[in-house]
Structure 1
Amino acid sequence: MSNVWLTAYDRGVPEHVEVAQFSSLVDMFERTVERFQERPAFSNMGRVITYGALDKASARLAHHLRNVLGLQPGERVAIMLPNLLQYPIAFFGVIRAGLVVVNVNPLYTAPELEHQLRDSGACTIIVLENFCATLQVALRTVDVPNVIVTRVGDELARPKAILTDLVVRHVRRLIPRWHIAGAMQWRRILSVRVKPNLPQVETGLNDIALLQYTGGTTGGAKGAVLTHGNVLANALILGAWFAAVGTHKGEKYLVALPLYHALALICQVVNRFILGGCGVLITNPRDLNGLVAEMRRHRFRSLAGVPSLFQALAQHPDIGKVDFSETVACCSGGAPLPLVVAEVWKSATGLTIVDGYGLTEAAGVAVMNPLGARPQRSGIGVPVCSTEIEIRREDGSVAASDEPGEIYVRGPQVMRGYHNQPEETARAIDAGGFLATGDIAAMGRDGYLTLIDRKKDMAIVGGFNVFPSEVDDVLLRHPGIREAAVVAVPDAHSGEAILACVVRQNPHLTEAEVIAHARASLTGYKVPRRVVFLDVLPKTPVGKVLRRVLRDALVEPGQ
């Protein structure tokens, strides 16, 4: 299929983006901070750090890592931090030292943390004190020689820093007891006021920048090897894409997704950083009251989230008090966007959610809707600049227009492969450089894609394919349902059957009412056979429902 989607691009958006305008992320950083010295780069908890201050702080950290600890180019440094000012300092400090970032979910259990540290070969970890007890347990079985510990208030202005740390430790009691011999203090490392002797770094576009671990929603987490070129490609592609709505000097963008996730780090932070934007870091987006309060303090140009975040915000009683007058883009990714969520968000805010699609292995985004005016929402959009998409059948042939098949992606943002897993890499990336995503979509004659579901989530009921997201969308339209996710369970008659997991808005909602609602919109084999009511649905940190966890919890052993 020819690149028919190019006709859908907003005016001025190029077919290709030149990645080599920077020689590496280090080059990008140093040229950008020189250009925007006095502009605010990030804000968090009332503290603002400028591009110039970020330059100095990250240089001190880079100096310590290379010249004090003696780390060599290419060694791995794990970052186990939530959205605090410490994160961008750590990220750029590690990159400037010629080292590789290993992003770690701060909510990991000790076994999960142990696996990632061992698999990545991390020799250093930068960790928030709140999670040191977990790290202490992991360190019993994996050796990480250098541990740098930071507190929540370390980058805040005094006396707020002192007060914040007192509240975290003694009022909210968020820091379990821990002891890690030889642990270094972040504040002491960054308090060195002498001009740091920055290491001489010769880093190129093909050098590794990140070991970005997949969320593990369909199995054990694997480390996607992302190069400086991969990261810059996606950041520059999105910069070109967003040029359709213009860039304002020092514009703010809301970072509610965790920075250890590719969508927030690459598609928001690196992308907007190049353009001189200011990221408003939300430390705990699960605190909806705190998130909405922070949204009310800033006029931001863009925000990104997963469907569940937009749904929750739309239902918040104070969302109408947020000033969206400067907001030009609300971008959704990470999971199929139910039409009902787009509708309730539009009703609550007057804004249209711009849907998109990406994955860790493609450094964030591969498909997105144009940002210019369109008469209606059209699925997840079209392939972004420099990106090719093919929809393939099971036999590997290219599917016809509107025929569902697996998404294959090729472009400069596609990973080099999986760390230390050549067989998995060979299965994921074919000889032509196309990445098999495991996601099912259909492409129309105009190049627009409609995401259907994950290939591994698809159920086969009596020989018929059932995509859970389609059933989810129907269930969410019931006013008595707050959240819903369906999974496939073994069935003696039909092979598999559909089981609905529902969080009630109406506490009196019954199983019969849910099934009757589904039957009114779905053909028989798609209707849930059973309904289970839960208090919450298990999710990844970015809000994707963990269907595998639901299925494992609800299917009896031996079935």
Structure 2
Amino acid sequence: MTESFWTDKYPAGVAAEIDPDRYPHILAVLRESCQRFADKPAFSNLGRTLSYGELYELSGAFAAWLQEHTDLAPGDRIAIQLPNLIQFPIAMFGALRAGLVVVNTNPLYTAREMEHQFNDSGAKALVCLANMAHLAEEVLPHTGVRRVIITEVGDLLSPLRRLLVNSVVRYVKKLVPAYHLPQAVKFTEVLERGRGRPLREAQPQPGDVAVLQYTGGTTGVAKGAMLTHRNLIANMLQCQALMADNLDEGSEVLITPLPLYHIYAFTFHCMAMMLMGNHNVLITNPRDLPAMVGEMAKWKFNGFVGLNTLFVALCNSEAFRRLDFSGLKLTISGGMALQQASAERWKEITGCAICEGYGLTETSPVVAVNPRQHNQPGTIGIPVPSTLCKVIDEAGNDLGLGEPGELCVKGPQVMKGYWQRAEATAEVLDAEGWLKTGDIAVIQPDGYIRIVDRKKDMILISGFNVYPNELEEVLASLPGVQNCAAIGVPDERTGEAVKLFVVRKPGAELTAEQVLAHMRANLTKYKVPRQVEFRDSLPTSNVGKILRRELRDEELKKRTAA
């Protein structure tokens, strides 16, 4: 679709274009917001609220310590492996202010996954929670990480509450396995030693990489999407443009259950809401639904950003249904397809319709979203300002309105490329800046987009991408496995779940329990398969490639027949 097609598709008052060069870098946005909203709350968690002024002071202390007590130089990578705690934005913005590149890392990663990401990114430093420091101890000798900063859950709470929370986590719940990292420095010590120290504020260029956000991309093994300062500034301005009539500046309360290390929550809560001076209530463990609902009950919240599985779980909670929703203005869904039944029940309970959106790690991530003023359920909405979309056929030819094809995106939020993977970048990003998403979509005459299916074999579990190649590589290392394949099968709770097909080596007596135990030991929990089926052979092409598509088709026929 041409640029002229999109210009009249935006609601009244929403400009079709944003200026991605309005700020030279993220730090300029941070400085402006922290001055403008200095006394406003920025983040709350576990009973502690951090104002924008405090965020600037503490992130400055973190940055000053990095500059004064380490040999890290601008452009070096620092892995941040934290759940939703106040420590996350302090460390993240502090690292950026010191000129470092942030590598967002899932705190649920296994040692194998950590080692891959640290080595691939070339990370030289790590900020992690004490709960997974034992894994860091195992992994770090095999990586280039030399600086380690460790924090505990309650470190930034009041002294008495800090002692209570950290003691419960460590001694009652026993969530901190023993570790030995003599080189590690405590997060609290970093802030204390950096407080009031001189800081040489970084001055990155718009095209400099700010964040390495790991993803499987549209194909293959996990890769680092290079998101520049300009990419992230563009996306926060694009989000602001479409939310201007929905959320006011400096006064809204947003519930933040999705992990900040995931690009969806990272950009929305750490970037767009920072630009607008709004208040993010961090939910450290959204899997503890009663605790999450209890925290929500303390606030008259105005916005909620989630995904289908979370909406379903909350709507099934009697305590959630009793909450006060009179302040709720905006609910946004992304990360996975929103089911119509979920959307209808949410609106019935809360009185607020869900606006579904769509994005990719490679697009910082927001591509399209339903404006609240003209919400069209069943679609992902219209492209955010300054974004072009088109669909193409297998030969790369542009298709017309209403024709399904691969969705392609062009805009200032599209990544610079994959970190140190020129060939992988060239597979998805052309010379004109068009990114192939790997998703099949239809563009309607009114500009709204419907996602039809995923082109690739990627499995989507509760909004997280799971890649068969990785699963199969892990499984292939188990003695007794001759051939294997992983596919996604429908799951009411998580959208999809992993099913494995295994061909045993002759004479091997491999069991499903052994397979699952091996996968659990090497994969994050959400990637672990739910089902294992043993077969004598797997369908293959004429060159021997295992055809996952045929396995999916067989599963679909079984379910249809049932």
Same fold (TM over 0.5): yes
Superposed counterparts of 1:394-433, under 5 Å = 394-433=394-433
Distance 1:544 1:336 in 2: 21
Distance 1:145 1:347 in 2: 52
Distance 2:161 2:218 in 1: 38
Equivalent position of 2:176 in the other structure: 175
Distance 2:391 2:217 in 1: 24
* 8 Å CA contact retained: 1:10, 1:371: no
Equivalent position of 1:386 in the other structure: 386
Distance 1:372 1:25 in 2: 29
Q: How far did residue 316 of structure 1 move? A: 1.1
Q: Which runs of 5+ in 1 are unaligned?
A: 459-467, 473-484, 488-495, 506-534
Moved more, 63-72 or 83-92: 63-72
Q: How far did residue 346 of structure 1 move? A: 1.9
* 8 Å CA contact retained: 2:39, 2:51: yes
Distance 2:200 2:220 in 1: 39
Q: How far did residue 218 of structure 1 move? A: 5.8
Structure 1 residue 229 corresponds to structure 2 residue 230: yes
Equivalent position of 2:547 in the other structure: none
Superposed counterparts of 1:90-105, under 5 Å = 90-105=91-106
Three-state SS of the structure 1 residue aligned to 2:450 is strand
Distance 2:536 2:128 in 1: 38
Three-state SS of the structure 2 residue aligned to 1:297 is coil
Structure 1 residue 78 corresponds to structure 2 residue 72: no
Distance 1:431 1:193 in 2: 44
Distance 2:155 2:225 in 1: 31
Q: How far did residue 373 of structure 1 move? A: 4.5
2:434 maps to a residue whose letter is: F
**Cα distance 1:194–1:282, how it changes in 2: closer, same or farther (>3 A)?**
closer
**Cα distance 1:165–1:313, how it changes in 2: closer, same or farther (>3 A)?**
same
Distance 1:164 1:217 in 2: 41
What do you get for the CA RMSD once the two structures are aligned? 2.8
Q: How far did residue 552 of structure 1 move? A: 8.4
1:247 maps to a residue whose letter is: D
Equivalent position of 1:159 in the other structure: 160
Three-state SS of the structure 1 residue aligned to 2:347 is helix
Moved more, 319-328 or 245-254: 245-254
Distance 1:317 1:219 in 2: 42
Equivalent position of 2:361 in the other structure: 360
Equivalent position of 1:521 in the other structure: none
Structure 1 residue 68 corresponds to structure 2 residue 74: no
Three-state SS of the structure 2 residue aligned to 1:122 is coil
Superposed counterparts of 1:197-236, under 5 Å = 197-214=198-215, 219-236=220-237
TM-score normalised to the size of structure 1? 0.83
* 8 Å CA contact retained: 1:19, 1:236: yes
Equivalent position of 1:448 in the other structure: 448
Structure 1 residue 437 corresponds to structure 2 residue 431: no
Q: How far did residue 5 of structure 1 move? A: 4.0
TM-score normalised to the size of structure 2? 0.82
**Cα distance 1:399–1:124, how it changes in 2: closer, same or farther (>3 A)?**
same
Q: Tell me the percent identity.
A: 41
**Cα distance 1:180–1:454, how it changes in 2: closer, same or farther (>3 A)?**
same
Aligned pair count?
A: 490
Distance 2:55 2:488 in 1: 50
Give CA-to-partner distance per residue, 1:214-249, whole Å, 9 cap, x none. Answer: 167964211000000001110111011100224153
Q: How far did residue 255 of structure 1 move? A: 1.0
Moved more, 297-306 or 230-239: 297-306
Superposed counterparts of 1:88-487, under 5 Å = 88-192=89-193, 194-214=195-215, 219-374=220-375, 376-457=376-457
Moved more, 141-150 or 5-14: 5-14
* 8 Å CA contact retained: 1:8, 1:370: no
Distance 2:75 2:193 in 1: 25
1:396 maps to a residue whose letter is: G
* 8 Å CA contact retained: 1:369, 1:378: no
Distance 2:414 2:32 in 1: 25
Distance 1:309 1:300 in 2: 17
Q: How far did residue 67 of structure 1 move? A: 1.8
Three-state SS of the structure 1 residue aligned to 2:245 is helix
**Cα distance 1:314–1:120, how it changes in 2: closer, same or farther (>3 A)?**
same
Give CA-to-partner distance per residue, 1:382-426, whole Å, 9 cap, x none. Answer: 111010001111111112222111110100000000001000000
* 8 Å CA contact retained: 2:218, 2:456: no
